[in-house]
Amino acid sequence: MMDRGLLGIAGAPGLESAVAQAAADHGLDRIDKLDGLTLYAGAGLKRSCSPASNVILGDYFSNESFSVEWGSFLTFSSGPGKPTEIARAPLTGLPLYWCRTGGGLLLFSHLELLRGLDIETGVDVDFLRHLLAYSNHRTARTGLAGVEELLPGTRLAFDGHVTQVKSIWSPWPHAGRQIYDRDAVPLLDITIRKCVSAWANERQQIMLELSGGLDSSIVAAALAAGDHGFAAATIATASPDGDERRYARAVAERCGAALAEYIHDDSELDLAAGPRFLSPRPSTYGVLAGIDAALGTATAQLPGASIFTGIGGDNVFAITHSILPVIDALRIHEPIRRPAAALRDCARLCDVTIWHAARAVYRHWRRPPATGWPREDDYSCRSALPDVPLPHAWDHGGERIPPGKIRHVQSIQRILDFLDRPGRWHGRDVVAPLLSQPVVELCLSIPSWQWVVGGRDRAAARQAFAPRLPEFVVWRRNKGRLETLCAKAFIEQRARLRPILLEGRLAREGLLDRERIEAYLARERLAGDYDYFRLLELADVELWVASIEGFGRVPTSLAQRAY
């Protein structure tokens, strides 16, 4: 049974019976409200409709609390003489992939649904080139030739012959607004609480992944403020940098939630195991397998419970350790007290003198950095990689936005690439309330310097929830880390990683700097750098390629060549 699966077809009559059989094999039911589109969905997807759409699948919120329709949903509309249209909600919309086949359009949520459909898929090497150069730059193109993702905030139209994708939401209008000091904090408090309650009201049981950090603690406080009962789970590593239990305990006690604690078991960490589930692009991080196992055990204690998580908080709350808030205040010609205060706050945040921070502002002003997506091509063969990233709907519209806000938008775009990565979330109902559309739109409109007030990151969020959380949690300056765990795993298993990195598909395609990788693997110890994270990332990509290569192969589509 695939409770949250979705499979559909428009046109391609030769595939109708195979699609119906695949849907039946996975327990998907047919939705009989669409003309020209045959759609099957799992019982775990909520169903509704609106005047503008024949069918809405997922969480769809439309009330007087906010001026937008938001949630985690897909809308479908189709009728005689009209094109089939599918739209995905901004930011948290349900995942959906599509490809052209048999003269029609095939839609699916999980790659497993394609088994038995005689739809061949294969690795798109050009996608891998972009992935190695521009990490986490998630675009419509996937790692499978001919398969595209309907990104959050976009709409797909199919008239029986031609497909067209358009953007229906952009962050830039919100990043161009300014909500100032006295309004930002109370608005943030009420908006987060309303969004968390909207998600929670639709669910009977909630399990919160409570790390003890600020972001998951805010979700806990919002759940408690709305009188939503929930259980919580936290994990700890054997090393002190990954043990956050005292913070999680304090938050759980303050919010009246039962807390389950789990110790990370290194024995379950197999960096060469490969992904547990097939996906259209690399997803699961092997180094997080132990965490997935521990939290998976916790959530299994409440069968059918929805998982709430604080993922995205750092990004939405504009975490930074730079002088960009000062630059923003100068760029938009704020009164001198604004950039002066921002300079003081940034210096304190970065633990440097004001003069050091002022010099950084001067250097930045004279030679501002590029605003495009950062290139991260270490341990790759740079000459074999593209010079520009694949296009994304958010590429245009930020021309008049100051650099700190551009970085804020890029940070939100980056975190969207992580929402389907943890293996413990596969097939589960997962809610990331801090990525709710009203929360993100509000946070984008808060000036960058207000996020660093007092020399603390995420300052506005801290102020908003300070009355609802233990003081030593809401004002803490450190964060839990996994460096010790990751370094230990890399050292112990690097001999197994060696053939994966040096003899795999990426190396054979000439995409990796084999000599540099080999030299790093031969080092006796890690000398304070974090390059092993990059090698683990490359190994994950290679393991994903291996998982897909047996699934089939098709030539690159015309649509993908157009990129």
Give the list of residues 6+ apart from residue 232 with CB closer than 8 angstroms, or none. 207, 208, 209, 210, 220, 248, 251, 252, 257, 258, 259, 260
Res 476: pLDDT: 92
Cα separation of the two ends of the chain: 37
302 DSSP assignment: S
Half-sphere exposure (CA, 13 Å, Cβ side) for 478? 10
Res 41: pLDDT: 96
Half-sphere exposure (CA, 13 Å, Cβ side) for 180? 3
3-class SS of residue 123: strand
27: left (phi over 0), alpha (psi -120 to 50) or beta: left
Taking only the tens of pLDDT, the chain with its 563 residues reads: 789 999 999 988 889 999 999 999 999 999 987 888 999 999 999 998 877 778 999 999 987 778 889 999 999 998 888 899 999 999 999 999 999 998 899 999 999 999 888 787 789 999 999 999 999 999 999 999 999 999 999 999 999 899 999 999 999 999 999 897 789 999 999 999 999 999 999 999 999 999 999 999 999 999 999 999 999 999 887 777 778 999 999 999 999 999 999 887 666 688 898 888 889 999 877 777 777 777 777 777 777 899 999 999 999 999 999 999 999 999 988 889 999 999 999 999 999 999 999 999 999 998 876 778 999 999 999 999 999 999 999 999 998 999 999 999 999 999 999 998 888 888 889 999 999 999 999 999 999 999 999 999 999 999 999 999 999 999 998 887 777 778 888 888 999 999 999 999 999 999 999 999 999 999 877 767 889 999 999 999 999 999 988 665 443 333 333 33
Give the tokens for residue 364. Answer: 């930045």
253 vs 218, 249, 322, 462, CA distance in Å? Answer: 14, 6, 35, 19
285/418 Cα distance (integer angstroms): 10
Measuring CA to CA, which residue among 65, 88, 58 is closest to residue 439?
65
397: left (phi over 0), alpha (psi -120 to 50) or beta: left
Q: In what order do the strands lie in the sheet with 53-61?
A: 47-50, 53-61, 70-79, 82-88, 154-158, 163-167
Give the tokens for residue 552. Answer: 């089939």
Res 552: pLDDT: 53
Give the tokens for residue 134. Answer: 């521009």
If residue 20 lies in a helix (H) or strand (E), which one and from where to where? Answer: helix 16-25
* 231-236 vs 258-263, strand pairing mode: parallel
Res 267: pLDDT: 67
73 forms beta bridges with 58
347, 356 Cβ separation under 8 angstroms: yes
Measuring CA to CA, which residue among 108, 105, 124 is closest to residue 164?
105
Res 562: pLDDT: 34
SS3 of 171-239: CHHHHCCCCCHHHHHHHHHHHHHHHHHHHHHCCCCEEEECCCCHHHHHHHHHHHHCCCCCEEEEEECCC
Res 486: pLDDT: 83
Phi, psi of 181 (to 5 degrees): -45, -55
Res 201: pLDDT: 95
74, 87 Cβ separation under 8 angstroms: yes
328, 456 Cβ separation under 8 angstroms: no
- Angle between helix axes 437-444 and 181-201 (nearest 10 degrees) is 170
170, 401 Cβ separation under 8 angstroms: no
How many CB atoms neighbour CB 424 within 10 A? 23
Residue type, 521: L
Res 561: pLDDT: 33
Res 85: pLDDT: 95
Residue whose structure tokens are 């100068």: 330
543, 275 Cβ separation under 8 angstroms: yes
